[in-house]
Amino acid sequence: MKGRFVAGVMVAILCFATASFAGILDEVKAKGSVSVGVSGKVPGFSAPDEKGVWRGLDVDFGRAVAAAIFNDPEKAKFVPVTTKERFTALQTGEIDVLSRNTTWTFSRDVQQGVDFCGVLFYDGQGFMVRKSLGVKSAKELDGASVCIQIGTTTELNVSDYFAANGMTYKPVVYESADESTVIYETGRADVYTSDISGLAARRTSLSKPEDHVILPEAISKEPLGPAVRQGDQQWSDLVRWTLFVLINAEELGITSQNVDEMLKSSNPAVKRMLGVEGNFGEQLGLSNDWAYRIIKNVGNYAEIFERNVGPNTPLKIERGLNSLWKNGGLLYAPDIL
Ligand SMILES: N[C@@H](CCC(=O)N[C@@H](CS)C(=O)NCC(=O)O)C(=O)O
C-alpha cells in the first residue's frame, strides 16, 4: 500500500515536472500561433487598417516573434486587451506576449508577475489641447479638465506633475480609447494626456487633427516595451532577443531587402546573426536562421519604425530618442556572441 502511495506521488511529481517544463515556446509551437496582446485602438502602434489587416509598431513586433518561431508573420494572432486587463491576460495565459504601448515600471515588473523584455519605443507623457485655447505650455494648464485613461501610468504622472507645479486639475477618467475621443471632442475635457506617441496617434483619429496641438513638455519617462509572464526564462529570452535582432540588424545595415545578399557577408557579426556561423537559434529553442526569418519577414527596427510611425506616416514621429546609439539615440542592443 505504502509502495503504491509512493509510486503515485512519484508519478504526480513527474507529471508536474513535465508540465512545468512544457514552457510557453512549446505551447506556442503546439498551437501553431503566438497570441499577442495589443491595444487595437492606437493607429501606428496597433490597429486594423481599412481592410481589417493589423498594422503598427507593436503589431510588427508580434509578427517578428511569430517569424522567429514559424518563419511566418501571419502566425501572430492579435488579441485586443484594455489597459486595465492587460497584465491579467498575460498572467492567465490568454496572451503569450504583451505588445501594447506598455510602460516598464517597478511595480509592474516586481509586483504584477510580468517580465519586461526591453524597450521598443522610448516615450514620455505629454498634453494635447485645442489650438483655439491658445495654450503654449503645460504650465498654463492650472484648473483644466484633463481626460485620463484608467489603469495607466498616465494617472499618477499627471497628479505628480500638477502637484509639483502647484496647479490643480479636474480628472475626467475613461476606460477605452473610443470614450476618450468622445470626451475630448465634445469639450468635456480641455486637455488630453497620454504618451506623446499616443497623442500623435489619437490626433489622427480626431475629426480635424490640425485643430489640435501637442504641448512641448514631456512630463515623464515612458519606456514602452514588450512583456511576458514572469517565470519562463526561455520565452523571455526569445522575446528579448527578437527585439535585439531588430535593433542590431539596423546597426549592421541588414534589411528585408538585402538580407539574402547579407548571407554572403564576411562580417562575423552578420554571419552569427544570420545563422551562417554558430548555433544561436538552437540555444533559444529555434532554428539557426531565426534572425534571418525576422528580418526577411518584418524588416529591421528602422523599417518597422518608418513604416508605422515615422515622418512619412500620419503620426509623423521623428526618430529622436529612438535612434541608434551611434546616431545619438537610446537604442543599444547587446551583441549575438
Ligand atoms: N504607456 C502607458 C499608457 C498606455 C495607454 O493607456 N495608452 C492609451 C492611450 S495611447 C491607450 O492605449 N489607449 C487605447 C486603448 O485603450 O485601446 C501605460 O503603460 O500605462
Question: Which residue among 46, 90, 154 has the greatest number of ligand 1 atoms within 8 angstroms of its CB, and so is best to mutate?
Answer: 154
Pick the CATH number of 25-122+224-327 from 3.20.20.70, 3.40.190.10, 3.40.50.720, 3.40.50.300: 3.40.190.10
Q: What is the pLDDT of residues 223-239, one digit of tens each?
A: 999 999 999 999 999 99
Instruction: Note the Cα 294 to chain centre separation in Å.
Output: 16
Element (H, E) at 239: helix 233-252
| CB-CB contact of 155 with 175 (8 Å) | no
Q: How many CA atoms lie less than 13 Å away from 279 in the CB half-sphere?
A: 3
Amino acid 3: pLDDT: 52
The whole-number pLDDT of residue 139 equals 97
Give the cell for residue 228. Answer: 511576458
Q: Does residue 180 line the site of ligand 1, with CB under 6 A? A: no
Collapsing DSSP to helix, strand or coil, 128 comes out as strand
Write the burial class of residue 147 (CB in 10 Å: 0-12 exposed, 13-18 middle, 19+ buried): buried
Residue located nearest, by CA, to atom 12 of ligand 1: 39
Please tell me the distance between residue 285's alpha carbon and the centre of ligand 1 in angstroms.
33
Please give the pLDDT value at position 219.
Answer: 97
Domains of the chain by residue range: 25-122+224-327, 125-220
Summarize the confidence of residues 72-79 as an average pLDDT.
98
| Residue 116, H or E segment | strand 114-116
Residues 305-327: tens digit of each pLDDT: 999 999 999 999 999 999 999 99
| 20-34, 74-88, 124-138, 281-295: the lowest-pLDDT one | 20-34
Number of Cβ atoms within 10 Å of the Cβ of 31: 12
What are 38's strand-pairing partners? 80
Could you give the count of Cα atoms lying within 13 Å of 337 in the half-sphere of its Cβ?
3
Hey, do 25-122+224-327 and 125-220 end up sharing a CATH topology, with the first three levels equal? yes
pLDDT digits (tens, 9 = 90+) for 176-193: 888 888 999 999 999 999
pLDDT (mean) for 289-295:
98
pLDDT, residue 176, reads 87
* pTM exceeding 0.95: no
Q: Which atom of ligand 1 is nearest to the CA of 40?
A: 17
Q: How far is CA 76 from the centre of its chain?
A: 14
The whole-angstrom separation of Cα 139 and Cα 142 is 7
CA–centroid distance, residue 95 to ligand 1 (Å):
17
Measured in angstroms, how far is the CA atom of residue 102 from the centroid of ligand 1?
A: 7
Which cell numbers in the block locate residue 186? Answer: 465634445
Q: State whether residue 126 is helix, strand or coil.
A: strand
Q: How far is CA 244 from CA 31, 168, 334, in A?
A: 26, 42, 7
Residue 20 has pLDDT above 90, yes or no: no
CA separation, residue 306 to residues 1, 153, 160, 302 (Å): 69, 26, 33, 6
The answer to whether 91 and 229 have CB atoms below 8 angstroms apart is yes
Largest CA distance in the chain: 84
Share of the chain above pLDDT 90, in %: 91
State residue 4's pLDDT score: 53
Mean per-residue pLDDT for 212-216?
97
Q: Which residues, 6 or more positions from 321, have their beta carbon under 8 angstroms from its beta carbon?
A: 122, 329, 330
Contacts of 116 (CB under 8 A, 6+ apart): 104, 108, 109, 225, 226, 227
Looking at the DSSP bridge assignments, the partners of residue 145 are: 170
CATH number listed for the domain at residues 125-220: 3.40.190.10
DSSP-assigned letters across all residues of 61-80:
HHHHHHHHHHS-GGGEEEEE
**pLDDT at site 297:** 98
CB-based contacts of 256, cutoff 8 Å, min separation 6: 295, 296, 297, 298, 299, 300, 303
Å from CA of 287 to ligand 1 middle: 35
